[in-house]
Amino acid sequence: MILVKLNLSSLNDDQLKVVTAEKGKHLVLAGAGTGKTRTLTYRTAYLIEKGMSPENMLLLTFTNKAARNMMFQASSLISGNRGRINGGTFHSIANRYLRTHGKLIGLDNNFSIIDSEDQRDLVKATVAETLGKLDHYFPTPRVLIEMFSNSINKNQDLEDVVVQNSPQSFEYMKEIFDVYAAYTKRKWNANCLDYDDLLICWHRLLADFSEESKELFFHEDILVDEFQDTNKIQGEIVDLLANVNGGKLTVVGDDCQSIFAFRGAVYENILEFKDRHEDVKIHYLKRNYRSTSQVLNLANDIIKNNKKQFYKELVPASKSVGPRPRIMPLPNVNAEATWVAKKIAERFQDGFRLSEMAVLYRNHSHSAFLQAELVKRNIPYQIRSGVRFLEQAHIKDVVAHLKILINSKDEIAWTRVIGMCPGIGAVRSRKLIKEILKSKNIADLGQDFGKDLLPEKAYRNWVIFFNEILSLSSLNHQEHSTAKDLIVKIMESSYSDYLQVKYKNASNREDDINQLAQLSDSYKSLKSFISDFVLLGEMFGSDVVAGTDKGERLILSTIHQSKGLEWDMIWIIRACDSSFCGPRTVSNDDIEEERRVFYVAVTRAKRFLTFTYPIIANEWGGANTKFQGSDMNKPCRFLLEGNDSLDKPFRSSFIY
DNA sequence: GGCCGCAAAGTTTTT
DNA sequence: CTTTGCGGCC
Ligand SMILES: Nc1ncnc2c1ncn2[C@@H]1O[C@H](COP(=O)(O)OP(=O)(O)OP(=O)(O)O)[C@@H](O)[C@H]1O
């Protein structure tokens, strides 16, 4: 007999109806801060308490962090330990299922996952080998990858994507097709999946193996958070999953917070959900529990200008009042950073906690001056934008060594590793890899592998280098060796010297690698470490945290990363029109997307909200005279739409 | 072929 | 401020 612990008294009536609704299809369409995530968390707990098996459900979220939070919260709402909730992002769940069921579509379960830099490297090599010397105007690998990814995520023909996004490249259409075909084949042969492939393969399993899916992908209930930011494939995956379990599905979201169109997100997934599915029960949550009415007035004033939306006015749940959001123009970017850092220090002195404060911005580059200022004032902060831990070159070097041990066909990892051997460049590397890929086991190649492929001098370096890889491989085959042992061994090899020579802040990077070794220790095997860790996209490492205080920290984040979070006190910096509606924002849909980004930013604040922007538009600060005084920034157009809700409304004379 | 050094051009937002 | 391209040298 299970003791009922779940306490539903902290939910309002509308929320309670969703939490306790009969199994079936439910859509929760509600504005920011109305408790969508909370409601989904409680519904998870409620269903488990009613007997649903946590391992046999599915909770899909937008970020891994959100998944961890919801799973933790839901588990602590219920009594006892009922098992681990099956939850995560679409990508991490796809990864998990493909490791176990990928055989059906011919996928080996030791596949590598590649990031966009790896994709670029592979496309670059493919272009070089299939097309040879090319036109100066042929699209760069970066652009090609974007075309491929858009075509997949938006479910459009590659040709249409090119016509739409890069019409000037249309003359190369044939070559683009050729590169795409060769690249796809090569990726598959290397047993490598990129982020898009994870979704495609999961989708393929569901669509092409419907009989098997009935068993493999049966979930007692499916819950999806942030549904407005799902793309076409993700939407179809959800449809297929719901077919499998007879339509036990709850999706929640807010079309006005859809801010990932660049990645293929279509808010039509949520707005047209009721048309795609039968017997959908739609729920609305109206009261905002997060913000004061002063903050909500501004949010409402702004979002009502979007034509394409399901209009929902945010109504404050409590009468608590706070100051109106304030706008502070400052002379330039240096003054902006100084002013914000000074205010943060003052508020901290006043007794506000750093963990209740955040600075949000549109682009990572907007944070640079503020970071310098925070370091100067010794204000501890954590930054959630920029290069991810695993994307750093030295970490990728080490991970590449580990990847070849798990997936010996991974030519991307091989290329990275072999590229570190002195005397071996692109041409010799290709020759060696061609042979390596022919053998099943690296050890079969023998200790003198390469002798007949390389000139004398290059071979002298290579033989040492290759034997280090061989001994790494044999360590990996030893019974009790761990990922940590392998990383330690890599650092004892010639890689350590390479690190010193190649990078200037080598000791910081060594610290990062030590941290990687520590982190790997909490995984049960090298394989699970390599497979799961790469999808986390975490932002720790030596550069992320500044300041001496080990405790609370101010958060610096892009607006995109702040989705779903909340703070008492928020500064939105670079709130000028050029940041939000830059030259890339052209169509009306683009502007509406930026307005939603702005709306998300505003609705993160509980009580205190301040906007700043530099009047002189010189991104790089005073030292660079090139642009000095060239342009004056205007305040963001969305702020002007909410002018009446601001503390000191703009007079037109202020606006340049 | 590999590699060093210098000049030039390119930058949203993320799983 | 960092990736990319190219000329010249080993
Ligand atoms: N019934 C309630 N009583 C008290 N507080 C609530 C209630 N519902 C939600 N909240 C609080 O309101 C805040 C916002 O909730 P939540 O994050 O679930 O909203 P959301 O709709 O998911 O927001 P967003 O769309 O911005 O991500 C949280 O601090 C939550 O604890």
CA distance A98 to A201: 8
Query: Can you give the length of chain A in residues?
Result: 656
Q: State residue A469 phi and psi, 5-degree precision.
A: -65, -40
Tell me which of A126-135, A382-391, A484-493, A508-517 is least confident: A126-135
- Indicate whether A185 belongs to any domain: yes
User: Which nucleotide does the CA of A455 lie closest to, via C1'?
Assistant: B1
Top-confidence residue, A430 or A620:
A430
Per-residue confidence (pLDDT) for residue A620, from 0 to 100: 64
- Indicate whether A7 belongs to any domain: no
User: Which nucleotide does the CA of A579 lie closest to, via C1'?
Assistant: B12
CA distance A149 to A182: 15
pLDDT digits (tens, 9 = 90+) for A559-615: 999 999 999 999 999 999 989 988 888 889 999 999 999 999 999 999 999 999 988
A272 plus A310 within the same structural domain: no
pLDDT tops 60 at residue A544: no
Q: Which of A502, A536, A570 is the last residue of a domain?
A: A536
pLDDT digits (tens, 9 = 90+) for A109-157: 999 999 989 999 999 888 888 877 667 778 888 889 989 998 988 888 9
| DSSP-derived pairing of the beta strands A249-253 and A25-29 | parallel
A142 touches strand B (CB under 7 A): yes
Domain CATH number, residue A465: 1.10.486.10
CA distance A611 to A618: 18
Q: How confident is the model at residue A629 (pLDDT cuts 50, 70, 90)?
A: very low
Per-residue confidence (pLDDT) for residue A643, from 0 to 100: 83
A602 plus A631 within the same structural domain: yes
- Indicate whether A648 belongs to any domain: no
Q: Which residues line ligand 1 (CB under 6 A)?
A: A 10-12, 15, 30, 32-38, 254, 257, 289-290, 564, 566, 603
Tell me which of A279-293, A452-466, A613-627 is least confident: A613-627
Q: What is the mean pLDDT of residues A503-529?
A: 88
CA distance A637 to A639: 5
Q: What is the mean pLDDT of residues A367-380?
A: 89
* Residue in A19, A224, A288, A290 to alter for ligand 1 test, most ligand atoms within 8 A of Cβ: A290
Top-confidence residue, A604 or A390:
A604
- Indicate whether A654 belongs to any domain: no
CA distance A119 to A442: 24
A119 plus A147 within the same structural domain: yes
| DSSP-derived pairing of the beta strands A315-316 and A326-330 | unpaired
| DSSP structural state of residue A472 | H
Three-state DSSP class for residue A192: strand
Please give the structure tokens belonging to residue A98: 């493909």
Top-confidence residue, A538 or A54:
A54
- Indicate whether A516 belongs to any domain: yes
Domain CATH number, residue A220: 3.40.50.300
A280 plus A408 within the same structural domain: no
E strands within A43-111?
58-61, 87-89
Atom from ligand 1 closest to the CA of residue A40: 18
Using the mean position of ligand 1's atoms as its centre, give its distance from the Cα of residue A29 in Å: 14
Per-residue confidence (pLDDT) for residue A625, from 0 to 100: 40
- Cα-based distances in Å from A1 to A4, A6, A49, A51, A74: 9, 15, 11, 11, 20
Share of chain A above pLDDT 90, in %: 60
Boundaries of domain holding A502 = 391-536
Q: A195-208 and A232-244 helices cross at what angle (nearest 10)?
A: 30
CA distance A17 to A14: 5
A117 plus A97 within the same structural domain: no
Q: State residue A134 phi and psi, 5-degree precision.
A: -125, 170
A84 plus A185 within the same structural domain: no
- Indicate whether A5 belongs to any domain: no
pTM for this structure?
A: 0.91
- Indicate whether A3 belongs to any domain: no
Please give the structure tokens belonging to residue A355: 């963990």
pLDDT digits (tens, 9 = 90+) for A50-71: 999 999 999 999 998 899 999 9
Q: Which of A285, A317, A351 is the last residue of a domain?
A: A285
CA distance A488 to A81: 37
A422 touches strand B (CB under 7 A): yes
Cβ contacts of A347 within 8 Å, gap of 6 or more: A357, A569
User: Which nucleotide does the CA of A431 lie closest to, via C1'?
Assistant: B1
Please give the structure tokens belonging to residue A10: 């902290």
pLDDT tops 70 at residue A542: no
CA distance A163 to A168: 8
Per-residue confidence (pLDDT) for residue A133, from 0 to 100: 67
Are the CB atoms for A618 and A332 separated by under 8 Å? yes
Please give the structure tokens belonging to residue A644: 């009446």
A395 plus A374 within the same structural domain: no
pLDDT digits (tens, 9 = 90+) for A208-266: 999 999 999 999 999 999 999 999 999 999 999 999 999 999 999 999 999 999 988 99
Neighbouring-strand partners of residue A381: A546, A554
Q: Whose CA is nearest to atom 9 of ligand 1?
A: A35
Residue A280: which H helix or E strand, with range?
Answer: strand A280-283
CA distance A241 to A235: 10
Residue A556: which H helix or E strand, with range?
Answer: strand A554-558
A362 touches strand B (CB under 7 A): yes
Nearest to A462 by CA among A417, A492, A500: A417
A147 plus A206 within the same structural domain: no
A242 plus A96 within the same structural domain: yes
Top-confidence residue, A609 or A333:
A609
pLDDT digits (tens, 9 = 90+) for A268-284: 999 999 999 999 999 99
CA distance A536 to A391: 11
pLDDT tops 50 at residue A627: no
Tell me which of A134-143, A421-430, A624-633 is least confident: A624-633
Q: What is the mean pLDDT of residues A616-634?
A: 60
Per-residue confidence (pLDDT) for residue A1, from 0 to 100: 44
Per-residue confidence (pLDDT) for residue A630, from 0 to 100: 55
CA A488 to chain centre: 29
Residue A611: which H helix or E strand, with range?
Answer: strand A605-614
Per-residue confidence (pLDDT) for residue A126, from 0 to 100: 87
Residue in this structure with the two tokens 């903050």, named with its chain if needed: A295
A256 plus A135 within the same structural domain: no
- Indicate whether A2 belongs to any domain: no
Please give the structure tokens belonging to residue A505: 């802040």
Per-residue confidence (pLDDT) for residue A649, from 0 to 100: 62
A333 plus A355 within the same structural domain: yes
Q: Which of A158, A190, A222 is the last residue of a domain?
A: A190
End-to-end Cα distance, chain A: 70
pLDDT tops 60 at residue A548: no
A88 plus A123 within the same structural domain: no
Per-residue confidence (pLDDT) for residue A511, from 0 to 100: 87
Q: State the total domains in chain A.
A: 4
